[in-house]
Homo-oligomer: A and B are copies of this chain.
Amino acid sequence: MPTVAVIPKPNSPVELREVPPPELEQNSALLEVEFSEVCGTDVYLHRGLLTGVPYPLVPGHVSVGRLDRIRGELLDVNGQRFREGDRITFLDVHRTCNACWYCLVAKATTRCPHRKVYGITYGLDDGLCGGWATHVYLKPGTRCIHIDSDPETFMAGGCALPTALHAIERGEIRIGDTVLILGSGPVGINAILLARMSGALRVLCIGAPQSRLDAALQAGASKVLNIETHDVEARRDWVMEQTSGRGADVTIEVTGVAEAVVQAMRFTRDAGRVVIVGQYTDHGPVEFNPHSDLNRKHLDVRGCWGSDFSHFYRGVEIVSDETRAQPWSEMSLTKFGLKDANEALSEVASGAVLKALVDPKL
């Protein structure tokens, strides 16, 4: 019988439960999970900080595993059929409707009001819909991708890779740009890797703690600055020193701190671009000056919400490419069994581990 790790309600410990195997609808499948991610969003989910979450919840939105059973037909984007036994991953976002005004007229599918997310807005009542489990039920219409690479390399990217890909796309980095990354968590590290991959000449990173800044350097940051030892003014001075006094061409904010949004604006050069991707949950208000921070700077400030299949697909391609995968293959992963999910959450929350995975075999 499938086993899942459940958050019964906000701030309650994760519990194991056994769940009867699902009836497969036409063109659906059952996935046997190899790994599922434990990310910062899961910490927020555990604390009840996201709206619209139907507890009890099985977390785990990015996972990899093997197709245990398929009913009907499951096709990849090239129209090739998946077979039982294939190793795959799937886009956590489901039911982007392709029928509403946001999908069809605005073409802003990450704002489709009908989208559902495995492990976040699908709860236990919706079935086996989270990756912290021995099995996930892949409902009809779930977008699957073959994983030909090493599954741990794929998981090293996790949800941070498509998130960072979307942010980088919004940043429109040009060859030779100086890119500033505010934040040094998984999205920040991936953003550094992708900024370099997009032609940034120099990538600066401001974050903490030192272990993550070391990872940032490892990922290709030219220079890093520790927020624990440098106040806002010192950070600004540092950025200006690195950029002929102008500020970064592109700044990507991935911090989870409201004040960082305004710092991002102030650390960016006039007519530059700022991407805000670190405010997925409400970190409160912040004050800025529209004249000096925005209008006079002729600045572009771009919110970046979610990611779509194209980002997920390209992420898989990157970690599957032998000339590009290396940084992810070298990332440090810490694995936890289903029964150790509470420990995983606290290790991620404290920043003690860079990337935690649930391995249902443990």
Question: Smallest CB-CB separation from A308: which chain B residue?
Answer: B104
Asked if A246 is an interface residue, CB under 8 A from chain B, the answer is: yes
Question: Smallest CB-CB separation from A77: which chain B residue?
Answer: B101
Contacts of A283 in B (CB 8 A): 290-291
Decide: A295 and B303 in contact? CB cutoff 8 A: yes
Report the separation of the CA atoms of residues A292 and B269 in the bound assembly, to the nearest whole angstrom.
Answer: 25
Asked if A71 is an interface residue, CB under 8 A from chain B, the answer is: no
Decide: B99 and A143 in contact? CB cutoff 8 A: yes
Q: From A3-11, A31-39, A311-319, give the one contacting chain B.
A: A311-319
Contacts of A220 in B (CB 8 A): 323
Decide: A261 and B286 in contact? CB cutoff 8 A: no
Report the separation of the CA atoms of residues A166 and B104 in the bound assembly, to the nearest whole angstrom.
Answer: 14
Asked if A310 is an interface residue, CB under 8 A from chain B, the answer is: yes
Report the separation of the CA atoms of residues A292 and B202 in the bound assembly, to the nearest whole angstrom.
Answer: 31
Asked if A279 is an interface residue, CB under 8 A from chain B, the answer is: yes
Interface readout for A204-224 with B: 1 if CB under 8 Å, 0 if not?
A: 000000000000000010100
Decide: B291 and A288 in contact? CB cutoff 8 A: no
Counting contact residues on chain A (CB < 8 A from B), the size range is 35 or more
Contacts of A284 in B (CB 8 A): 289
The secondary structure that dominates the A interface is: loop
Question: Smallest CB-CB separation from A295: which chain B residue?
Answer: B279
User: Shortest CB–CB separation between residue A210 and chain B, in angstroms?
Assistant: 22
- Of A111, A175, A313, A321, most buried by chain B (CB within 10 Å of CB) is A175
User: Shortest CB–CB separation between residue A244 and chain B, in angstroms?
Assistant: 6
Q: From A191-199, A336-344, A350-358, give the one contacting chain B.
A: A191-199
Decide: B198 and A175 in contact? CB cutoff 8 A: yes
Question: Smallest CB-CB separation from A200: which chain B residue?
Answer: B197
Question: Smallest CB-CB separation from A249: which chain B residue?
Answer: B106
Report the separation of the CA atoms of residues A28 and B168 in the bound assembly, to the nearest whole angstrom.
Answer: 41
Q: Known pairs A77-B100, A107-B310, A261-B290. 11 more at Cβ < 8 A?
A: A104-B308, A106-B270, A110-B271, A199-B199, A276-B294, A278-B295, A279-B291, A279-B296, A287-B287, A297-B303, A297-B305
Q: Which of B175, B271, B306 is close to A106, meaning CB atoms less than 8 Å apart? A: B271
Report the separation of the CA atoms of residues A285 and B244 in the bound assembly, to the nearest whole angstrom.
Answer: 27
Asked if A282 is an interface residue, CB under 8 A from chain B, the answer is: yes
* Contact A295 B310, CB 8 Å, known A199-B197, A270-B108, A271-B108: no
Question: Smallest CB-CB separation from A278: which chain B residue?
Answer: B295
User: Shortest CB–CB separation between residue A70 and chain B, in angstroms?
Assistant: 16
Decide: A176 and B106 in contact? CB cutoff 8 A: no
Decide: A201 and B317 in contact? CB cutoff 8 A: yes
User: Shortest CB–CB separation between residue A273 and chain B, in angstroms?
Assistant: 10
Asked if A17 is an interface residue, CB under 8 A from chain B, the answer is: no
Report the separation of the CA atoms of residues A10 and B222 in the bound assembly, to the nearest whole angstrom.
Answer: 47
Contacts of A104 in B (CB 8 A): 77, 143, 308-310, 313
Report the separation of the CA atoms of residues A119 and B297 in the bound assembly, to the nearest whole angstrom.
Answer: 22
Decide: A303 and B299 in contact? CB cutoff 8 A: yes
Question: 28 A-B Cβ contacts within 8 A?
Answer: A75-B99, A77-B101, A78-B100, A78-B244, A102-B270, A104-B310, A105-B309, A107-B310, A108-B271, A108-B298, A111-B270, A111-B271, A175-B197, A176-B313, A176-B314, A202-B321, A222-B323, A276-B294, A276-B295, A279-B291, A279-B295, A285-B290, A286-B289, A286-B290, A294-B301, A296-B305, A297-B305, A300-B303
